[in-house]
Amino acid sequence: MGSNLNLSGDIECDASTMDGKSLNFGAVGALRGIKNPILVANKLLSEAQKGKLSAGRIPPCFLVGEGAHKWAVDHGIVPCPPDIMTTKFSLSAFRKNRRKLELAEKVETEMIQTKKRREVTENVSVFIFTLSTNVTASLDTVGAVVVDHEGNVAAAVSSGGLAMKHPGRVGQAAVYGCGCWAENAGGHNVYSTAVSTSGSPFLACEDSVLGGVIVLRCCRCSMDSESALNTPALLVEFLWSHTTESMCVGYMSTQDGKAKVNTHISRLPPGAVAGQSLAIEGGVCRLRTSVN
C-alpha cells in the first residue's frame, strides 16, 4: 500500500524470498490487487518444497502479472481492490511526475522539430527532468533477513518499483540472485548468509547510484570459552549499507509482539553526496542455541 504508481496509474509490486537451508526461491513480479505480495512469494516457495505436481510437472517458483494473481487467489490468498492500494501521497507524486513527463516530452518534441527545420542555435538550452522520488522522501522497498536458533537463515524483499515505470516491468526485487539471497553454512561456506537489496540500476554509466543493502551472517561458536558449561551459541553479525541520504533499520525477535522500527536511522556523513557516497554500519550479537 502506498507504492509508486506506474505509467498507467496502477500499483504493480515485485517480491521474492529465499530459504537458506533448501535454497528454494519464490517470487512474483508486476503483481496487482494483492495487499502483501511477499505472501504470494512465500506461498510459491512453500508449495515448491512439497515436490512435483501431478503428472510430474515442476511447480512454479516465479510468476508475474495476471498469472501470479490467479495463482495467489487459487491458493487462498485474499485479493483486494487495486484502488485501495493508492494513498494520497502516492497519487500526488504520480500527478506531479506525470506533469513533468508531459513537459519533458513537449520540450523534446519541440527540439526535434527545431532541429529538423535547421534552426538550432547556440542559445538553445537542453532541459533534463528526473522522475525519481526525492532522496529525502520515504522510498517504498522493504527488505528482511532472519536467523533461527539453529543457524538457518532466510531473506525477503518487496517493492513497488520505480515511479512511472512501464506497466509489466519487473524490477530487481523479484529477480533470482539480485533482490535477495540466503544460504546456510555447509561445504565451503563457514558462515550462513542472508542478504536483501534495493536500489537503482548498479551500472557503470550511472552518475548517481541510490541503493541499500542489509546483510546477516552467522557461525557457531562458544558463548563463553571460560565457562565450564561452554554453552553453544551463534555469533551473528548484522550489517547495513546505503548510498541514499538515510535508511531506516528495524528488528524483532520471537519474544517481541511486533517489530521495532525507526529505532535507528542510518545517515550519510555530513557533507556526503547521496548517490556518490556510502554509509556502512553494523553490530554483533550472540544467540543461544538449543542444548541436546
Report the C-alpha gap between 130 and 104 in whole angstroms: 9
- CA angle at 282 for the pair 139 and 38, rounded to the nearest 5°: 40
Q: Tell me if residue 276 falls in helix, strand or coil.
A: coil
C-alpha cell at position 179:
533482490
Output the CA–CA distances (angstroms, integers) from residue 99 to 125, 129, 130, 279, in the order listed: 20, 11, 11, 34
From 17, 133, 136, 141, active-site residue: 141
Report the C-alpha gap between 210 and 276 in whole angstroms: 8
Is 141 a catalytic site residue?
yes
Q: Tell me the CB-side half-sphere exposure of residue 271, using CA atoms within 13 A.
A: 0
SS (H, E, C) 118-163: CCCCCCCCCCCCCCCCCCCCCCCCEEEEEECCCCCEEEEEEECCCC
C-alpha cell at position 28:
512474483
Q: Determine whether 248 is exposed, middle or buried from the number of CB atoms within 10 Å of its CB (0-12, 13-18, 19+).
A: middle
List residues with catalytic annotation. Answer: 141
